């Protein structure tokens, strides 16, 4: 049962890239002891909806309120900034998992590969799936297939390959320049 | 005699060092990049990826790069801690990709701490 739903509309402004917010949200999922994190990127309404879902232990309403009010909170990293910087933001959590969704009014997917490999060492305990949809096509990256598709997880060259592949594919699907 | 509060304070101070020791394999250099919200805003993802680029392009073995939480000094982010075998952890502050190149060259490869970037 959903314990908490919050929806806030704010005026979008230039801020941190989507990929940086992604780091905060996946960090929250890992800190909630998630075994699986699903990241969804969907091109719509001239921008991108980012949704991060996990099967972790959830976050207390009180901690979400503190995080959004800028008080010191043990959990909910980056939620306040996400609310401030996106056109819309919604949040659901219970003891079976959490889902955070935000709409970015710019189609900027630069650095998503850079953000994903930040969690490389956690992949032995938390699987990460990235699923994207844009008018140019769909793409799915699953960390459980890294060994089969890219190479040995212990090899740093594999990190580089994954980063390059994700960045290149997303730029092709969503547009923009690869950096 | 130390009070419970003193002991708790020491425990908090030592927590990160204990975690680092437990997670690092023998003979391996471990780089921890602070990825609290403050670090991410300040450019920690770029710093993490700069370490990956330098270590991979120079084909340096026995180096592991991990994210960690806030390293405790938000105004000095991005920060990273370099743990080399047999030495005290060294915390670098206000990092940029260029400083990372220098740290990899001088500290990780050369064994000399880059004192001007140390906390």
Model pLDDT for residues B51-82, shown as the tens digit of each residue: 999 999 999 989 999 999 888 888 899 999 99
Instruction: Identify the band that residue A177 occupies on the pLDDT scale cut at 50, 70 and 90.
Output: low
Residues of chain A positioned with their CB less than 8 A from the CB of B46: 114
Sorted by where each begins, the domain ranges of chain A are 4-174
**Residue A85 touches partner B, C-beta closer than 8 Å:** no
Nearest CA in chain A to B40: A20
Tell me, what CATH number does B39's domain have? Answer: 3.40.30.10
CA distance A21 to chain B (A): 8
In this prediction, residues A158-166 reach a mean pLDDT of 97
B6 part of a folded domain: no
Closest CA to A77 of A141, A25, A129: A25
Kindly state the average pLDDT of the residues B88-92: 96
Scanning every residue of chain A, which has its alpha carbon at the shortest distance from the alpha carbon of B66?
A: A121
Find the radius of gyration of the CA atoms of chain B: 15
What would the CATH number be for the domain defined by A4-174? Answer: 3.30.565
**A27 chain-B contacts, CB cut-off 8 A:** 35, 67
Q: Is B62 on the interface with A (CB under 8 A)?
A: no
Instruction: Answer whether A59's CB lies under 8 Å from A71's CB.
Output: no
> Is B82 a domain residue?
yes
Q: Which long-range contacts (CB under 8 A, 24 or more apart) does B19-23 make?
A: B19/B68, B20/B81, B20/B83, B20/B89, B23/B66
User: Does the pLDDT at position A176 exceed 90?
Assistant: no
The whole-model pTM stands at 0.85
- Find tokens 């743990």 and name the residue: B83
Q: Give the nearest partner residue to A81 out of B35, B37, B46, using CB atoms.
A: B37
| Torsion A155-A161-A163-A166 (CA) sign | negative
Within-domain flag for B15: no
A36-45, B23-32, B86-95: least confidently modelled range:
B23-32
Beta-ladder partners of B32: B66, B81
- Please choose, from the candidates B90, B118, B106, the residue with its C-alpha nearest in 3D space to the C-alpha of residue B31: B90
The pLDDT of residue B3 = 66
Would you say B79 and B34 are in contact if contact means Cβ atoms under 8 Å apart? yes
| Best to test chain B binding among A21, A109, A118, A120 (most B CBs inside 10 Å) | A118
Model confidence at B110, in pLDDT bands (50, 70, 90)? very high
Report the gap between the CA of A66 and the closest CA in chain B (Å).
15
User: Using one digit for the tens of pLDDT, what is the confidence trace for B4-45?
Assistant: 666 655 555 554 444 444 455 668 999 999 999 899 999 999
- Looking at residue B2, its pLDDT comes to 61
> Which phi and psi angles does B38 have, rounded to 5°?
-60, -45
The Cα B6–Cα B29 span in angstroms is 32
Residue span of the structural domain in which B90 resides: 25-117
**Radius of gyration over alpha carbons of chain A, in Å?**
16
On whether residue B18 sits in a domain, the answer given is no
Residues of A in contact with B35 (CB under 8 A): 23, 27, 118
Please tell me which of the candidates A115, A121, A160 has its beta carbon nearest to residue B45: A115
- Least Cα separation, residue A139 to chain B (angstroms): 23
In A, minimum Cα distance to B23 occurs at A121
Select the residue of A78, A159, A163 nearest B37 (Cβ to Cβ): A78
Give the nearest partner residue to A24 out of B33, B37, B64, using CB atoms.
B37
For the beta carbon of residue A133, count every other beta carbon within 10 angstroms: 18
- The domain total for chain B is 1
Q: Looking at the complex, does the CB of residue B55 fall below 8 Å from at least one CB of chain A?
A: yes
Question: Cβ–Cβ of B66/A121 closer than 8 Å?
Answer: yes
């Amino acid at each position: 049962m959903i314990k908490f739903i919050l929806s806030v509309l704010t005026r979008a402004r230039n801020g941190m890239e989507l990929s940086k917010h992604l780091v905060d949200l996946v960090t929250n999922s890992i800190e909630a002891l998630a075994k699986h994190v699903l990241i969804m990127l969907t091109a719509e309404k001239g921008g991108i909806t980012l949704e991060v879902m996990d099967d972790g232990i959830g976050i207390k309403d009180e901690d979400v309120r503190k995080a959004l009010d800028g008080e010191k909170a043990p959990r909910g990293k980056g939620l306040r900034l996400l609310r401030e910087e996106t056109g819309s933001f919604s949040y659901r959590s219970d003891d079976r998992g959490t889902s955070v969704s935000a709409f970015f009014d710019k189609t900027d997917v630069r650095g998503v590969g850079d953000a994903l490999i930040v969690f490389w060492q956690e992949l032995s305990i938390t699987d990460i799936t990235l699923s994207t949809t844009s008018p140019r096509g769909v793409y799915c990256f699953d960390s459980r297939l890294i060994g089969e598709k890219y190479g040995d997880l212990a090899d740093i060259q594999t990190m580089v390959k994954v980063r390059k592949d994700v960045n290149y594919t997303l730029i092709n699907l969503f547009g923009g320049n690869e950096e | 005699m130390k009070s419970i509060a003193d002991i708790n304070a020491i425990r908090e101070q030592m927590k990160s060092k204990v975690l680092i020791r437990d997670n690092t394999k023998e003979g391996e250099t471990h780089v921890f990049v602070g990825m609290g919200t403050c670090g991410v805003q300040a450019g920690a993802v770029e710093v993490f990826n700069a370490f990956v680029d330098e270590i991979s392009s120079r084909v340096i073995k026995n180096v592991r790069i991990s994210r960690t939480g806030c390293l405790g000094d938000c105004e000095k982010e991005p920060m990273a801690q370099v743990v080399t075998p047999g030495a005290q952890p060294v915390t670098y502050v206000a990092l940029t990709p260029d400083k990372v190149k220098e740290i990899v060259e001088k500290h990780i490869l050369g064994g000399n701490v880059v004192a001007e970037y140390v906390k």
